[in-house]
Structure 1
């Protein structure tokens, strides 16, 4: 069986940082990972290196990045950084889907439904 690899500008120097982030996920990241994404029928990676960034979750089959945003993302500096980061990721034809930590806490099923919808749509487009 041939594996589907999409080049995403991998930087090996970030490998250890990604490993540490996997070991130290936020409460919301753990909730989304263990209660939905880990056993999802399409392979999803956590804390994946793409270009010069480490994204929270990545689905290669759907070319989808899922980011969970804490309060630091809603400052002027955070929004500027996220904008540049999203632009870079989109150069790889990736869709960046963002959810706030509050959405994970208060609308978990809605977040899961949205992820499922986007993966379904994009997976069909990427084949």
Structure 2
């Protein structure tokens, strides 16, 4: 059995660390600009998860994986969190290719929208809890239909 990272609502959450992720150092310059942009939904989400305040889980913000910069990343779970803005409606093909690439590395992707984060953050956090329990919970009763 894999090591337990934390518990969510009494359900042990197993570790799913993905080693040797590809990294494009040329994207490092874009990280600073992206962080300075201060996209409201990302800032609001970050305030909820930074410093292990969300179930003692350590989140990284603006992480380079391959040729992509993901919004948030949880190393111990191999979990990518993406917050899609309104422009993502027009980028379905790009989003699908990105998701397929990330999943091919053994990562799991949780997506939410900018609108949901700005207007119903508590629901987004509950959905994330449920998603983590479903993906990483260690007991059969933790599986959410």
Q: What TM-score, normalized to structure 1?
A: 0.84
CA RMSD, aligned part only? 1.7
State the partner residue of 1:70.
85
The equivalent position to 2:126 in structure 1, one of 100, 110, 113, is 113
Q: Give the secondary structure class of the aligned counterpart of 1:38.
A: helix
Deviations 1:17-67 (A, max 9, x none): 112212223110000001x11133111101100010000000011111000
State the partner residue of 2:32.
19
Aligned CA distance change for structure 1 residues 66 and 105 (closer, same or farther; 3 Å): same
Aligned CA distance change for structure 1 residues 8 and 25 (closer, same or farther; 3 Å): farther
Alignment of 1:36-115 (within 5 A): 36-40=48-52, 41-75=56-90, 78-115=91-128
**Contact kept in structure 1, 2:18 and 2:107, CA below 8 Å:** no
Shift of 1:106: 2.1
Q: What TM-score, normalized to structure 2?
A: 0.74
Q: Distance in 1 between matches of 2:38 and 2:74?
A: 18
Q: Distance in 1 between matches of 2:44 and 2:38?
A: 10
Uncovered stretches (5+) of structure 2, i.e. residues with no partner: 1-16, 139-145
Uncovered stretches (5+) of structure 1, i.e. residues with no partner: none
